[in-house]
Structure 1
Amino acid sequence: MARPILYDYFRSSAAYRARIALNLKGVEYESRPVSLASGEQKKAGYRMKNPQGLIPMLEIDGHRIGQSLAICDYLDANYPDPPFVPKDAADRAHVLGLALTVACDIHPLNNLRVLKYLTGELGQPEAAKDEWYRHWIAEGLAALELLARPRAGAFLFGDAVSLADICLVPQLYNARRFSISIDPYPTLRRADETASAHPAFAAAHPERQDVPA
């Protein structure tokens, strides 16, 4: 069976999620860096494989899977340990809600292509772009803190790693990159510290990846 291939970019938070998920499931894979900085993801060769022109994409078991949460779902269905979501329906919905708060509400508004569009086609100055980033991060993390707090433990949900942590850690990494304080979010900070100490998360950290030329 062919080794899975992850089309990757070291600082992409969505790719960061996929790396964490693969590591947690113990799936060995080949990382193929695609430079978002130089626009490699927009080239015809990559778009033939992934029409969205986005990172990550996972080639596995004869399939091409885009979207980080779809990758996580596929891995969870085929590699059951450790589970990414609880079996109980209400608990599962809670964890998915936390994960989607990051993946659907916070991250897309601050994605590189959105920020480039603000300063490029829309002609917004860097200061306006930075304010946009800070606003949506602060609003999203404040909500996530309140959503997670009642049922958090060492991790974002209880004392076991879940899909919520897979989404949280890359998002807080990005917040720190842009000098956004996470001091107001003690629940998120605790979960981030616990998860980041896990070998699967540590190995997925951007500073431990190959940087494309």
Structure 2
Amino acid sequence: MNETLKLYGYWRSSAAYRVRIGLNLKGLPYEQVPVHLVRDGGEQHAPDYAATNPQKLVPVLVHGERKIRQSMAILEYLEELWPEPALLPVTPRDRARTRALAQLVACDIHPLNNLRVLQYLEREWNAPQSERDAWVRHWIVEGFTAFEAMLVEDLGRGEFCEGDLPSIADCCLIPQVYNARRFGVDLAPFPNIRQIEAACLARPEFDAARPEVQPDAPRND
């Protein structure tokens, strides 16, 4: 399994962000292929990229001749091919709980707040920026309230979402916290989420995945 890994993504895509974290935690080298989701109407709509991903979304992981789409499927693919260091805990119960936390973000919060939804609200309903931002904040708070409660109920949680090592739940949570800060969500009611964020961002694998340090991020210099 020594074929080159190539990740199609966008610096501020939270789905691509979670895959970058997973790749870094696995210690896997990969080539980044930027797909600008806004410029010229969005490069994801170009015919050549649509051939790579018919959904016209990022991320896509290319491994040799294989194309793996959907961030959660990519993370599971990495886990199955390179099981160490693990992104899932050992027991079925803990694995199920970790997947539930990850999917709370990936399936319930993120789809309501991604770029194409916000563009639709603007284009079809003429929703101004302030209303779109309020929409984003509402669904993040709804999701984080549940996420925080699920963290509290697990008395043996540890430093990260599940235990003392990062998992796919942390891969999903940290990009969503980034979005929460970007849209001005008050994180004071979520102390456990903030503690996990601090623990994750102290690790080089998370630090290197941050949007602002990606090769396609805007530069101020």
Q: 2:4 & 2:135 partners in 1: Cα distance? A: 40
Alignment of 1:187-206 (within 5 A): 187-206=192-211
- The residue type paired with residue 29 of structure 2 is E
Cα displacement (A) at 1:150: 2.6
Tell me whether 1:32 sits opposite 2:37 in the alignment: no
Alignment of 1:63-142 (within 5 A): 63-142=66-145
Q: 1:112 & 1:174 partners in 2: Cα distance? A: 12
Q: 1:129 & 1:49 partners in 2: Cα distance? A: 30
Give the equivalent residue in structure 1 for 2:182. Answer: 177
With structure 2 as the length reference, what TM-score do the two structures score? 0.93
Q: 1:20 & 1:37 partners in 2: Cα distance? A: 23
Q: 1:126 & 1:179 partners in 2: Cα distance? A: 13
Q: 1:204 & 1:89 partners in 2: Cα distance? A: 29
Equivalent residue of 2:7, what SS?
strand
Q: 2:209 & 2:119 partners in 1: Cα distance? A: 26
Q: 1:194 & 1:137 partners in 2: Cα distance? A: 21
Equivalent residue of 1:46, what SS?
helix
Q: 2:94 & 2:12 partners in 1: Cα distance? A: 30
Tell me whether 1:61 sits opposite 2:69 in the alignment: no
Contact 1:5 1:30 in 2 (8 A): yes
Cα displacement (A) at 1:114: 0.3
Unaligned runs of 5+ in 1: none
Contact 2:137 2:184 in 1 (8 A): no
Cα displacement (A) at 1:48: 0.5
Equivalent residue of 1:121, what SS?
helix
Give the equivalent residue in structure 2 for 1:164. Answer: 169
Q: 1:212 & 1:142 partners in 2: Cα distance? A: 30
- The residue type paired with residue 172 of structure 1 is V
With structure 1 as the length reference, what TM-score do the two structures score? 0.96
Q: 1:53 & 1:123 partners in 2: Cα distance? A: 23
Unaligned runs of 5+ in 2: none
Q: 2:69 & 2:205 partners in 1: Cα distance? A: 21
Contact 2:23 2:29 in 1 (8 A): yes
Cα displacement (A) at 1:32: 0.6
Cα displacement (A) at 1:212: 6.3
Equivalent residue of 1:179, what SS?
coil
- The residue type paired with residue 137 of structure 2 is R
Identity of aligned residues (%): 48
Contact 1:153 1:191 in 2 (8 A): no
Tell me whether 1:49 sits opposite 2:49 in the alignment: no
Q: 1:172 & 1:62 partners in 2: Cα distance? A: 34
Q: 1:88 & 1:22 partners in 2: Cα distance? A: 23
Q: 2:130 & 2:25 partners in 1: Cα distance? A: 38
Contact 1:148 1:187 in 2 (8 A): yes
Equivalent residue of 2:87, what SS?
coil
Contact 2:98 2:167 in 1 (8 A): yes
Q: 1:204 & 1:159 partners in 2: Cα distance? A: 20
Superposition CA RMSD, Å = 1.2
